[in-house]
Structure 1
Amino acid sequence: MAGRRHRAAGKVRRTDHRRSRHGTAPVRVPPCRWLPAAPPRAGRASRNGAAMTAGGTIPATISGPGGRPPADPRAGGVREAVRGVPAHGSGGTEFRLLGPVGIRNGGTGTDIVPWGSKQRALLSALVLHAGRLLSVDQLTEELWGDRPPANAANALQAHVARLRRLLPGPEGTVPGHEWITTLPTGYRLSLGDATTDVQHFHRLSAEGRAAAAGDPGRAARLLRRALALWRGPALQDSRYGPLCTGEADRLEENRLTALEILYEMSLCCARPGEIIGELENLVADHPLRERFYDLLMLALYRSGRQAEALGVYERARRRLVEALGIEPGPVLRCRMEAILNHAPGLSAPAPPEAPYPAAENRPGSRELGSEIAWLRQRVDELNRRQIALARRFDALAARTPPTF
């Protein structure tokens, strides 16, 4: 028998006793962290689903939803905040970087996970800089840092060849599309019709920010969809260098900003009690980010828990002094003073008006009266906006010196 299977707690560990091409030692196939209970048989490298390791070839394609990596346990309240919200749908190839690095082959419905941190780092660098030439020196530093192998160019070429074998075949791409182009000085990846979860996140986040001014409920829904794309830290389990470090940091900052806007919109929708637990988790995960303390204090105050809101300020002050030797900033101090004085501005806003119902849902007997009432509300709202805009224009004109 070519190998043995050991089944324990629903997982499969596979040991392969075939002899290597270059020696007599048995080839040990390492267990895959995301290996489903019924994985495909190990075989030789194929164009659409196998990645090379130092000891031989192992399958790298994981099929179906059961093979998806679980969410990062550190996400805590973030995953609770977006549970049950569909992320997006796509029928083509999608590169996934918001969590464990991998590829979603929409044509076959399989998830492809590169083996080894260097393979994941190479894929991350090429996808994050898609359409741009990355030199051999840049990629060498990305994969090996300041300790490159003696034959770095050949080693890099081998990694690129393995990555090419891993990428989806023609059924998941446009006809004639070539993913990675080899140029005299380096390599370039072209997305073609493929997408990335980073693109989806930025698009949904931008739509959420745009909706924040006029429709907090819609803004919150869009931001939850954007955050649902995160399955863990950006570029998780990938050993990356200068090419990806800055991008990973920017993605994390964008995620935290989206969370801040999400909970601000949730408070505008007058649902403070629903998000207190999620904000507590965020404060625990990011103890030096003052905006999360501010939102938690406001949510507690609007839930009738003034003493607890003031206790959050003391907690924030203690952590900032211990970690950074600084006092809370002016925003957090102003929030604390407003809570002490029961400032009127802390009151929850009025619930947003329900949108005008579609014609097929309106009772016929009240259709005209409802329409007139809705139109009057819209006219009043537009008048208020026009007045505010005129005042702002006058203020700007007063500060602008005349030109001759």
Structure 2
Amino acid sequence: MSELQLAQPDALGTAAEQSYVHPDVEIRVLGPLEVARQAAQVQLGGRKQRTVLALLAAEVGKRVSVDALIDGVWGEEPTAGARSTLQTYVSNLRGAIGDVIVRDDGGYRLATDPQQVDAVQFEQGVAHATDLVEKNPAEASQRLRAALALWRGNPYADLAGSFPLEIEARRLEELRLRAVEARIEAELALGHHADLIAELEVRCEEFPVYERFRAQHMLALYRCGRQAEALRAYQKTRAYLAEELGLEPSPQLHELERRILEHDKSLLLEAEPQVQTVSFLLTDVEDSTVLWELHTTAMRAAVAEHDRVVFGAVEAAGGRIVKRVGDGVDIAFADVGAAVAAAGEIQRELAAMRWDETGPLAVRMAVDVGEVEARGGDYFGPVLNRAGRMLAAAHGGQVLLSTDAHAALSATRSGWQAKALGEFRFKGIGTPQHVFQLLLDGLPSDFPPLRIDRLPPPLASGAFGRSVRGYELREQVGVGDFGIVYRAYQPSVGREVAVKVIRPDLVNQPSFVRDFESEARLVAQLEHPHLVPLYDYWRDPEGAYLIMRWLRGGALRQALERGPWNLEPAARLLAQVGAALAYAHRQGVVHRDVKPANVLLDEEGNAYLSDFGIAGRLADAANPGRVVTSSPAYVPPEELAGHRHTLRSDLYGLGL
């Protein structure tokens, strides 16, 4: 579903007011009628049967009488058996999409959340965005583009002949026209006039009597210094109206022509951007990409609740939503105290909520303050870049403060607490930044180290970790059958890596000493988009070391513990891992240990096959037939029987 609906918790009725069934059903009418369940398209039968569903979708959540349905399907001359045929159609539709159609007092009702119908999403999104055009054109443009992106063609395009649907289609087309007009108005306010001229020329040709497009076209030309072309555009519309309709242009269009003739400077945007000091609160829902894949339907309700909490706290603190970024929000405040107050209120409310299958939504936040340029309802400046870098480094539930935000807060507010996290270098920011964490009563205050892009602070004396051949071990992240995995930092190239340290008692076995180099070299030569690359390797008496790419999304094992996956993301993951495994097999390499713990995810939910069992292969060489694993469910039958691993052994683990 689109980002648009996430910002609109106020649907046509609520789940408390209506009894909804099958919330996984998505109905699309902005184009040919389509229905999807869990992202899989449903076969709906013939045109008349589809028309029944479309008529109910047009009145989603409301009762539609049997007579109205018959009129919509058969017109003024229904067949003698229309009523019984209608019952058959309803029965067939229930078989296809579930009991989402319910009997209701002499008629039928589509008992699904109205937000499951794309036309409702579109209509509500346009209504909300249109209100923002003047006060926040950047967000208005973003929302209107999201709403318009729902369209796939003419509404109910495959159901011609139903009079009620033709009326509804015309209404939606008119709303679409107003949405395009509002989007262009917002983008003119943002100073995008040069980019809009070509589109507006096409719009004026397509809708020659729609004067608002011509007015916007004239204004865009004038702002680009093309006054003569703007006046010719007016004359073109005037001539068309006179020849085709015998009319003159509206007073509004005539007035715009006069102002252009007089070089009215008020038609131009402000040449100089306004510079002002603004406090910002940036938010982001941690792991939202994976949660959307795992719990598509539940996430709609969860993010709607998230939005309710965030928008309420922002309004109470006097802030302004600047724009949405994915499931997160950029918010502006007049002072940093209000930003911190809103952050604390949001975290407390979210922590106190009861969540369904998604589990608690963990929201990370960053607060910063500084001078920015205000243009077209949006802000621009280094402070936003810095806040964005801090946000990316934070963890769910954590609120970070910049040095400037901390100093401004200290000077203006009391009764708050923060702790210094240290000095860090963020990618793209030249000078080191001191970062603080806001402490909130009753909420967690201990978080893992920040997810820093570059140059973590030096290890303090006596702190965890040590350096091994130019890699600083920062944090133990896992323990396996043959060793320990660390998150580490490589200062020479400024990147984070994963370091696997294989146990000394294994690496000093004769077979391991003999074959380690050749086995590691074989794996290091594998190059595939969904294989975790092996950057470096070596052995010494204290252990063997494998240096690999660091992936921040964790292992598939942890993701599966949160709940089952839908078919589409599971198929995508299987395709990615399967392609990587097939490539390795073509190079003559058997993985030997395919299991969820050895499939790693990035922050977008893409899968990467890791850990080609170098330690296990070499340890087993000294003890053939021995089965040593903490995941016995993934051990293939041939290994249990004491035989060698084959390509089929990997397929066994992949299938599980």
Instruction: Say yes or no: TM over 0.5.
Output: yes
Q: 1:333 aligns with which of 246, 250, 254?
A: 254
Alpha carbons 2:134, 2:186 under 8 Å: kept: no
Q: CA deviation at 1:298?
A: 0.6
The residue aligned with 1:265 is: 186
Higher helix residue share:
1
Q: CA deviation at 1:349?
A: 3.5
Rg larger for: 2
Q: CA deviation at 1:184?
A: 6.6
The residue aligned with 1:279 is: 200
- Superposed counterparts of 1:59-98, under 5 Å: 92-98=24-30
Determine helix, strand or coil for the equivalent of 2:53.
Answer: helix
Q: CA deviation at 1:365?
A: 10
- Superposed counterparts of 1:145-164, under 5 Å: 145-164=75-94
Q: CA deviation at 1:321?
A: 2.4
CA distance in 1, matches of 2:387, 2:105: 63
Count of residue pairs the alignment pairs up: 279
The residue aligned with 1:133 is: 63
Could you tell me which runs of 5 or more consecutive residues in structure 2 were left unpaired when the two chains were aligned: 8-22, 274-374, 391-400, 413-656
Cα distance change of structure 1 residues 361 and 333 upon mapping to structure 2, 3 Å threshold: same
The residue aligned with 1:209 is: 130
Could you tell me which runs of 5 or more consecutive residues in structure 1 were left unpaired when the two chains were aligned: 1-84, 170-177, 376-404
What letter corresponds to residue 327 of structure 1 in structure 2? Answer: E
Q: CA deviation at 1:204?
A: 2.2
Moved over 4 A (4+): 85-91, 361-366, 368-372
241-250 vs 215-224, which moves further: 241-250
1:68-108 alpha-carbon deviations (Å, 9 max, x no partner) = xxxxxxxxxxxxxxxxx976689932111111111122x2x
The residue aligned with 2:35 is: 103
1:349-403 alpha-carbon deviations (Å, 9 max, x no partner) = 355161673564699999379979xx9xxxxxxxxxxxxxxxxxxxxxxxxxxxx
What letter corresponds to residue 126 of structure 2 in structure 1? Answer: S
Cα distance change of structure 1 residues 115 and 314 upon mapping to structure 2, 3 Å threshold: farther
Q: 2:404 aligns with which of 344, 364, 367?
A: 367
Alpha carbons 1:101, 1:114 under 8 Å: kept: no
Q: CA deviation at 1:297?
A: 0.8
Q: CA deviation at 1:284?
A: 2.0
- Superposed counterparts of 1:4-403, under 5 Å: 92-105=24-37, 107=38, 109-112=39-42, 114-167=44-97, 169=98, 178-182=99-103, 185-192=106-113, 195-239=116-160, 241-350=162-271, 352=375, 354=379, 357=383, 360=387, 367=404
Q: CA deviation at 1:332?
A: 0.9
Higher relative contact order (CA 8 A, sep 6+): 1
1:166-202 alpha-carbon deviations (Å, 9 max, x no partner) = 21x4xxxxxxxx3122357332221158611122212
Cα distance change of structure 1 residues 347 and 369 upon mapping to structure 2, 3 Å threshold: farther
What letter corresponds to residue 128 of structure 1 in structure 2? Answer: A
Measured on the aligned residues, the alpha-carbon RMSD in Å equals 3.3
Q: CA deviation at 1:227?
A: 0.8
Q: CA deviation at 1:314?
A: 1.6
Cα distance change of structure 1 residues 241 and 272 upon mapping to structure 2, 3 Å threshold: same
CA distance in 1, matches of 2:225, 2:138: 23
Cα distance change of structure 1 residues 192 and 337 upon mapping to structure 2, 3 Å threshold: closer
Q: CA deviation at 1:205?
A: 1.7
Alpha carbons 1:121, 1:240 under 8 Å: kept: no
Give the TM-score, by structure 1 length. Answer: 0.61
What letter corresponds to residue 60 of structure 2 in structure 1? Answer: A
116-125 vs 353-362, which moves further: 353-362
Higher strand residue share:
2
Give the TM-score, by structure 2 length. Answer: 0.39
CA distance in 1, matches of 2:68, 2:124: 29
Alpha carbons 1:122, 1:139 under 8 Å: kept: yes
Alpha carbons 2:4, 2:125 under 8 Å: kept: no
CA distance in 2, matches of 1:195, 1:210: 23
Alpha carbons 2:71, 2:78 under 8 Å: kept: yes
Q: CA deviation at 1:273?
A: 0.9
CA distance in 2, matches of 1:140, 1:338: 55
The residue aligned with 1:70 is: none
Q: CA deviation at 1:253?
A: 1.7
Q: CA deviation at 1:163?
A: 2.1
CA distance in 2, matches of 1:120, 1:365: 57
Q: CA deviation at 1:132?
A: 2.5
304-313 vs 288-297, which moves further: 304-313
Cα distance change of structure 1 residues 369 and 185 upon mapping to structure 2, 3 Å threshold: closer
Alpha carbons 2:155, 2:169 under 8 Å: kept: yes
